[in-house]
Structure 1
Amino acid sequence: MSWQRQRERGSLGALRLMGWVITRLGYRAAWLLLYPITGYFLLSSPRQRRAARLFLGRALGREAGWRDLFRLFFTFSATLLDRVFLLDGQRRGFRIEVQGMEALDARIAAGRGCILLGAHIGSFDALRAVADAGCPVEVVALMHGDHAAISRDFFAQHAASRHTTVIPLGQPDAMLRAKECLDRGGLVGILADRAPAMPGRTGGMRVVHVPFLGRPAAFPEGPHILAGVLGAPVMLAYGVWTGPRRYQVRFEPFAERIVLDRRRRQEAIAEAAAAYALRIEAVARAYPYNWFNFHDFWEEMDAS
């Protein structure tokens, strides 16, 4: 079983437990459960723990201790708790601060649509909550369906959002549906920091190695190729957890268009991935405990 599937199963079990407690005892009781749940994840996930230690050591500029690891895993657990509420449309008590909305509004007003490049930083559901609250256009999220299948069984029972459409990548019509959304002036979101099916290495997924936190790391080519083919403006989007039911959502201009010239196509992809990695590195350093990409970015674990 791949580490992603193991983490999906663990997350699903935690979400079901939280959902049960929330239904009967409320948010505060579920919050108290985060401590043993975090301890369980931390002690029972040696590979993810080691990957987290490698990342935190680079992001913090020092060796990461158990307190750092617990804080990272606790933040992850807290976003899972909030996710139950956000997907159920229960946003009372949440405070979501939004920065960069003016830049996004300008692109929406131009009617060209916009591609939102995200990362496994903080909560995607905080971004979706912003879209549900007031985005005037259609929003499509492209996701790797295999990795989300287990969690979708749970979230399908809770999702109150009707504003965001999820399209599994790999479907024959995924690109066409994304283009149609952009043609209607909508938004297309995709996470660009992880290739699927990574038990430690990249397998058959096409990746490009670019600098990230001091060493070359593997990033998927696909999101940048997709952005180049679709030809729409590109922005970065992420929502970091800053405290109980507190999030900071940010939209940042990235490129008016990613141009994939046939004569230097691979160079253009590498340049786009490097620029993306540089921007994500800045966010990862600023919010290291919001980094939920629990895999070996630098392919050091298997080598050692």
Structure 2
Amino acid sequence: MKKPHWAEMGEYSLVWGMRLLLGIYRLGGRPVVQFFLYPVVAYYWLVNRRGRAASRDYLRRVSGYPADLQLSGGRLDSFRHFMTFAEAILDKLAAWAGMIALGDVGYRGREPVLERLRQGQGVLLLGSHLGNLEVCRVIASLNNNIRVNVLVHTRHAEKFSALLSRYNSASQLNLIQVTEISAATSMRLADKIDQGEIVIVAADRTPVSNQDRVAEADFLGAKALFPEGPFILAALLKCPVFTVFCLKRRGKYVIYFDPFSDGLKLPRKQREQALQETIQRYANRLQGYCLQEPLQWFNFYPFWHKES
């Protein structure tokens, strides 16, 4: 049986519940909405059998590493995983509604990124579904001249943006809705980079419309598919590349910036090998951060290859 693509999994089917919860949030604050959050997530966890299985598979893999994570991949761990995802959605709503201030976010490795921007040089940030990338909206508040462009999958973005845009009409964040990174997308983003802007793209999800543009990488002890598009894009843009991970720790978000490349190069003769090595390097970095906060990697679909 063909493995379903992540875009078909309905990960954002929680939007209907979040619309109600956002109304409660605005009326009664976070403590009140937390009370309603548990039954919504419990229902979603019970009916989403495939997502529940994928969650447990991932957590079992994590539990095999010698870190003091106190995870086994059981049902309770999976429910905690879903609850963490729901909490992150509330934080997304808070970020879009302007309820997360600069003082609520800490940074590690930010200065090299800001230095590039001060020089008028655009920067590409390779993100992921680890943590809460939407909180990076706060980056746009660092300086009124900094523009942040985020590539998002159309189906999810339309559902979510329709809800969120009602509460935040003015932002330095620009959502670019795409299903794949095409030549037209690359040209558009090259203009953004030339203008000294930030471009963020998630690099841990396979493309929606072109399943041939993927590569295998070792991730948490087994082969998994990663998209080639973000790394080909990085080479085309000829700009500094950093990874970005936004993790929640002790109730506060911390955004980690790590240098990835001064200008990614994929030589024609060794293109496939260079691309493979680059993707493996990204997978290694993603794994390192996943092991720090495993419940914050929000992929609820079968991620690893199966023999049958």
> TM-score of the superposition, structure 2-length normalised?
0.89
| Counterpart in the other structure of 2:194 | 183
**Counterpart residue type for residue 254 of structure 1:** F
Query: Which of the numbers 225, 233, 239 marks the counterpart of 2:240?
Result: 233
**Counterpart residue type for residue 63 of structure 1:** S
Query: Aligned-pair distance for 1:211?
Result: 0.7
Q: 1:2 to 1:213 in 2, by over 3 A?
A: closer
Query: Which of the numbers 257, 269, 274 marks the counterpart of 1:268?
Result: 274
- Tell me the secondary structure at the aligned position of residue 262 of structure 1: coil
Structure 1 unaligned spans of 5+: none
2:255 corresponds to 1:249: yes
Distance in 2 (CA, whole Å) between partners of 1:18 and 1:159 is 17
- Tell me the secondary structure at the aligned position of residue 270 of structure 2: helix
Query: Contact 2:101 / 2:138 at 8 angstroms: preserved in 1?
Result: no
Distance in 2 (CA, whole Å) between partners of 1:236 and 1:168 is 21
- Tell me the secondary structure at the aligned position of residue 263 of structure 1: coil
| Counterpart in the other structure of 2:162 | 153
Query: Contact 2:152 / 2:176 at 8 angstroms: preserved in 1?
Result: yes
Q: How do residues 99-138 of structure 1 correspond to structure 2 at under 5 angstroms?
A: 99-134=108-143, 136-138=145-147
Cα shift readout 1:229-275 (whole Å, capped 9, x = no counterpart): 1111100012112254x211111111111101111111111111000
Which has the larger displacement, 121-130 or 61-70? 61-70
Which has the larger displacement, 156-165 or 68-77? 156-165
Query: Aligned-pair distance for 1:83?
Result: 1.6
Query: Aligned-pair distance for 1:225?
Result: 0.4
| Counterpart in the other structure of 1:63 | 72
Query: Contact 2:14 / 2:44 at 8 angstroms: preserved in 1?
Result: no
**Counterpart residue type for residue 232 of structure 2:** I
2:216 corresponds to 1:209: yes
| Counterpart in the other structure of 1:291 | 297
Distance in 2 (CA, whole Å) between partners of 1:114 and 1:161 is 23
**Counterpart residue type for residue 235 of structure 2:** G
Cα shift readout 1:172-211 (whole Å, capped 9, x = no counterpart): 742222111111111111000001449xxxx734100011
| Counterpart in the other structure of 1:14 | 17
Q: 1:94 to 1:31 in 2, by over 3 A?
A: farther
Query: Contact 1:195 / 1:220 at 8 angstroms: preserved in 2?
Result: yes
Query: Which of the numbers 264, 278, 296 marks the counterpart of 1:258?
Result: 264
- Tell me the secondary structure at the aligned position of residue 269 of structure 2: helix
Q: How do residues 165-184 of structure 1 correspond to structure 2 at under 5 angstroms?
A: 165-169=174-178, 170=180, 173-184=184-195
**Counterpart residue type for residue 50 of structure 1:** A
Corresponding residue pairs, total: 297
2:28 corresponds to 1:25: yes
Q: 1:54 to 1:29 in 2, by over 3 A?
A: same
**Counterpart residue type for residue 174 of structure 1:** T
Distance in 2 (CA, whole Å) between partners of 1:93 and 1:272 is 33
Query: Aligned-pair distance for 1:133?
Result: 4.0
Distance in 2 (CA, whole Å) between partners of 1:27 and 1:239 is 21
Structure 2 unaligned spans of 5+: 65-70
- Tell me the secondary structure at the aligned position of residue 208 of structure 1: strand
Distance in 1 (CA, whole Å) between partners of 2:115 and 2:92 is 29
- Tell me the secondary structure at the aligned position of residue 259 of structure 1: coil
Query: Aligned-pair distance for 1:31?
Result: 1.6
Query: Contact 1:145 / 1:168 at 8 angstroms: preserved in 2?
Result: yes
Query: Contact 1:193 / 1:220 at 8 angstroms: preserved in 2?
Result: yes
Query: Aligned-pair distance for 1:92?
Result: 5.4
Which has the larger displacement, 23-32 or 91-100? 91-100
2:223 corresponds to 1:220: no
**Counterpart residue type for residue 266 of structure 2:** L
Distance in 1 (CA, whole Å) between partners of 2:140 and 2:188 is 19
Query: Contact 2:56 / 2:78 at 8 angstroms: preserved in 1?
Result: yes
Cα shift readout 1:26-60 (whole Å, capped 9, x = no counterpart): 22111222222221221111111111111111112
Query: Contact 1:195 / 1:205 at 8 angstroms: preserved in 2?
Result: no
